[in-house]
């Protein structure tokens, strides 16, 4: 049985990405990178043996190698503030959302087998082409879709954009196409993907109302961290698709040999 894929979790927050991916049994987090203090304390509590780097702008493949950390997969949801219609509108040129360029730099340096990106669906409004072009320039294919939290049983909508990238294997035995997403062209903002078309996305749940179940008594830093977190069930779904593609790739490669 193959060893778990070694995961570098960027913009880690309170660890929703790692929690979901580790639930598959096929991923093991080897490093976090998170700048805010409260999420760093949460990560230290639940992953006490996993190092947590502070600033993505200072993290390099050389630093990881010096610390004895090898990486097979990178995940992360870079800040969305500049992509949002309620934000600056500067997109990937903004100070916060522009941290995508640091994410991409690390991808270039590490060259992982898989990259998983999460962000606001507003990324589709003019910015996706920049990300796909950057990945293509270093030989990575990508699949993407919008998956709401409601699609995995959460009592709220929370649309999010998800992308999986991997080295281009076109024409090679066992190409790693995931068959995970149903769209290969960008969705219009708010459009329901067929994967989740049956979900009642315009309804407001009776129990949670507009607060999504988070008590008003929760401390501000906890509320902020929870609001920024990904729903772990979606990375788990994506992780299982990656592992299935890995198994198919190994089988096809063995048959071709």
| Active site amino acids | 80
Burial call 86-102: b when 16+ CB within 10 Å, e when fewer: ebeeebbebebbebbeb
Cβ 33 vs Cβ 17: under 8 Å? no
Q: How many CB atoms lie within 10 A of CB 4?
A: 18
DSSP 114: E
φ, ψ of residue 128 to 5 degrees: the values are -60, -40
What is d(CA 239, CA 146) in angstroms, rounded to the nearest whole number?
16
Residue reference for tokens 């730099």: 105
The first and second tokens of residue 163, run together, are 């992308």
Residue 256: burial class (beta carbons within 10 Å; 0-12, 13-18, 19+): exposed
Location of structure tokens 């009592």: 155
Contact 142, 164 (CB under 8 A): yes
Q: How far apart are CA 81 and CA 233, in angstroms?
A: 24
Euclidean distance between CA atoms 71 and 175, whole angstroms: 20
Residue that has been written with the tokens 């913009």 in this structure = 11
């Amino acid at each position: 049985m193959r060893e778990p894929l070694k995961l570098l979790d960027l913009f880690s927050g309170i660890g929703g990405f790692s929690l979901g991916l580790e639930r598959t049994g096929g991923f093991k987090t080897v490093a976090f990178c998170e700048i805010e203090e409260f999420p760093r304390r949460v990560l230290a509590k639940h992953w006490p043996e996993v190092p947590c780097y502070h600033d993505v702008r200072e993290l390099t493949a050389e630093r990881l190698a010096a610390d004895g950390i090898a990486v097979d997969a990178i995940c992360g949801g870079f800040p969305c503030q500049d992509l949002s219609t309620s934000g600056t509108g500067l997109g990937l040129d903004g100070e916060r959302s522009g941290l995508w360029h640091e994410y991409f730099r690390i991808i270039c340096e590490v060259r992982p087998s898989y990259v998983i990106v999460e962000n606001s669906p507003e990324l589709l409004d003019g910015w996706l082409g920049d990300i796909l072009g950057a990945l293509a320039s270093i030989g990575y294919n990508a699949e993407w879709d919008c998956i709401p939290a409601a699609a995995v049983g959460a009592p709220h909508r929370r649309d999010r954009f998800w992308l999986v990238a991997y080295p281009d294997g076109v024409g090679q035995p066992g190409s790693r196409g995931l068959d995970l997403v149903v769209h290969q062209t960008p969705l219009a903002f708010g459009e329901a993907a067929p994967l989740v078309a049956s979900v009642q996305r315009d309804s407001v749940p009776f129990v949670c109302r507009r607060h999504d179940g988070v008590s008003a008594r929760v401390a501000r830093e906890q509320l902020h961290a929870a609001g920024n977190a990904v729903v772990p069930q979606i990375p788990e779904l994506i992780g299982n698709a990656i592992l299935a593609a890995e198994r198919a790739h190994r089988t096809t490669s063995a048959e071709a040999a």
